[in-house]
Chains A and B, each alone.
Chain A
Amino acid sequence: MITLYDYELSGNCYKLRLLMSMLGVDWKTVPVDFYPGREHKSDWFLRINPLGQLPVIDDDGLILRDAQAILVYLASKYDAAGTWYPRDNPALLGEVSQWLAFADGITATASAARLHDALFYDFDVEAARTGAHRLFRILDEHLWFGEQEGRDWICSASHPTIADIACFPYIMLSEEGGISRQDYPAIRRWCDRVKRIKGFTVMSGVFPAGPAKAA
């Protein structure tokens, strides 16, 4: 059974809960007192992850850190259909990796602004917000052109991939860092599509989509 070292308010932990829920995988949770206890910097946790970061999973003794790396592992191991991380399609794999790195950029900006505003982190919040808007603009245009070509997801496939899961949480939580999504209509439509994927689950601060309008 997978054990997830988890913090409820972490978007990076939420990514894994989201994918495991969509894949129908069972897991159990060890809550880590990230705030205000800073338990991710405690001796016992640093032995599991010397970087002192969440999330971490333990899958029958295999310990992995880094949200994006764990998404790759979970999809490769538990997605029988092989669509979430399409190992047989080099071009698509390249795209997925490109957007996984982009998701790290969203964490470094949108998530940082949220930590500043809500949990008193001493970050340059204006730089974080500016950086997030730059990334959101790039993604919004990418999604808008995709929609013109009939593509619903971030990568060039007819189905979602782990790139969608990696980018979703900190975009969805951006308003808590003072980053409005008002100017990114294609991002907002894509967020609603993610929310309608079978197995979608919420975290605190993320609400489910309303019922889809009949076509």
Chain B
Amino acid sequence: MSTAALCSDRVLLNDWHVVADLANLSVGAPFHTRLLGVDITIHCRGRYNKEVVRDDTGALVTSTKRYGFLWACLGKPERDIVFVPEAEEGDRYLVTGGSIAVKVSGLRMVENFLDMGHFPFVHTGWLGDEPHTEVAPYKVELTAADELVATECKFYQPVASPTAKGGFVVDYIYKVTRPYTVALYKSNPVQKDRLDVITLFVQPVDEDNCVAHPFLAYLKDGIDEAGIRSFMQLIFAQDKPILENQVPRRLPLDPRAETPIRADAVAVLYRRWLRDKPVTYGAIPARM
């Protein structure tokens, strides 16, 4: 039985959220999960037909498939699923990176994804190493489309991707498109003028738990899908114990709650953007 708090944020209730990687679903094995505190079960009726049902009322939940995932909306969808333009490009692999449950608020997960400062310490030898620890100033803005974008992010990475042959300064762009969705664009080590894209769809399981559903659109040059997944999980599993030890598990939105530094400019704006929406689910609201 569910004991989780329910969500009252309209912006979340009326939006789409990933609830499963289609690869994890099989006929005859109902898949139990939770979305915004509501226990749900996914039934596979034959190969193509999936049904999402609320455990509390037995009501059918609006669902659809896209990008290799099953999506659900508990309310009435007010906008379409996030569009990933790179998924239309034929020379890319489109792979789900492997959905992993993490015992922390999904908002903390998004914020960690936006943070370059931890690379040398958590992803040592891969996405950073000492003494290259400085986060150079970058630009961050709120766009007309109500997305947060951080540009001109640069970081020295010893092994930036599965095909990297040595360390180089990698260019990053971050984009927060929804409260629980964040994308990262980074230089491809083979075609340096093009970008690989990782979109992280975070499933708000409840306020203190989430599932990370990464979606990768990687240029095919010199790599295979197993290699892409392997690298994604290698990096992600380094973050996992750090995230699961964050206290508190929810993201505080009060500007006085945790002290940011200049490298956190994008996180500061992210918290303010959440506060203005307002998104409270998975957060500790700001004191008035």
> What residues on B are CB-neighbors of A203 within 8 Å?
237
Q: Does B240 contact A (CB under 8 A)?
A: yes
Instruction: Judge whether A126 is part of the interface by a CB distance below 8 angstroms.
Output: no
Task: Give Cα A33–Cα B95 distance, bound, in whole angstroms.
Answer: 12
From B50-58, B97-105, B185-193, B247-255, the one touching the partner chain is B97-105
Which B-chain residue is minimally distant from A116 (CB atoms)?
B101
Q: How far is the CB of B215 from chain A (nearest CB, A)?
A: 12
A204 interface residue per 8 A CB criterion: yes
When the two chains form their complex, are residues B244 and A175 in contact, meaning their CB atoms are under 8 A apart? yes
Q: Determine the distance from Cα of A119 to Cα of B102 in the docked complex, in whole angstroms.
A: 10
CB under 8 Å from chain B, chain A span 6-28:
7-9
Is B226 in contact with A8, judged by CB distance below 8 angstroms? no
Cα-based distance from A205 to B103 in the complex (angstroms): 14
B227 nearest CB neighbor, chain A only: A31
Binding site for B on A (CB under 8 A): 7-9, 31-33, 35-39, 117-120, 122, 175-176, 203-205, 207
- Contact present for A205 and B237 (CB under 8 Å): yes
B2 to nearest A CB, angstroms? 17
Q: Give residues of chain B (88-142) contacting chain A, Cβ–Cβ below 8 Å.
A: 96, 98-103
Known: A117-B101, A119-B100, A122-B29. A37 touches B241 (CB 8 A): no
Which chain B residues lie closer than 8 Å to A31 at the CB level? 226-227, 229-230
The prevalent SS among residues of B at the interface is helix
State the total of A-B contacts with C-beta under 8 angstroms: 65
28 contacts between A and B (CB under 8 A): A8-B233, A8-B237, A9-B233, A31-B227, A31-B229, A31-B230, A33-B226, A35-B98, A35-B229, A36-B21, A36-B23, A36-B98, A37-B229, A118-B100, A118-B101, A118-B102, A118-B240, A119-B100, A119-B101, A120-B31, A120-B101, A175-B244, A176-B240, A176-B241, A204-B234, A204-B240, A205-B241, A207-B241
Complex alpha-carbon distance, A38 and B21, angstroms: 13
**What residues of chain B lie closer than 8 Å to A37, measured between beta carbons?**
23, 225-226, 229
Question: What are the nearest 3 A-B pairs in CB distance?
Answer: A204-B237, A36-B23, A31-B230
Please state if A36 and B24 are interface contacts (CB–CB under 8 Å).
yes
Binary contact track B59-103/A, C-beta < 8 Å → 1, others 0: 000000000000000000000000000000000000010111111
B233 touches which of A175, A204, A207 (Cβ 8 Å): A204
A176 touches B233 (CB 8 A): no
Given the contacts A119-B100, A176-B244, A205-B241, A35 and B31 also touching, CB distance less than 8 Å: no
Distance in Å from the Cβ of B81 to the closest Cβ of chain A?
20
Complex CA–CA separation, A49 to B99 (angstroms): 26
- The answer to whether B238 has its CB under 8 Å from any CB of chain A is yes
**CB-CB nearest in chain A for B68:** A36
Q: Which residue of B lies closest to A33 (CB)?
A: B226
| B238: A residues at CB distance < 8 A | 204-205
Within residues 156 to 208 of chain B, which ones have a CB less than 8 A from any CB in chain A? Answer: none
- Can you name the residue of chain B whose Cβ is closest to the Cβ of A120? B24
User: Which residues from A are CB-within-8-Å of B229?
Assistant: 31, 33, 35-37
A32 to B230, CA, bound (A): 8
Are the C-beta atoms of B31 and A33 separated by less than 8 Å? no
Q: Which residue of A lies closest to B126 (CB)?
A: A204
From A122, which residue of chain B is reached at the shortest CB distance? Answer: B29
Point out which of B24, B29, B31, B100 has the most chain A C-beta atoms below 10 A from its C-beta.
Answer: B100
CB pair B234–A8 under 8 Å, yes or no, is: yes
CA distance A38 to B25 in the complex (A): 12
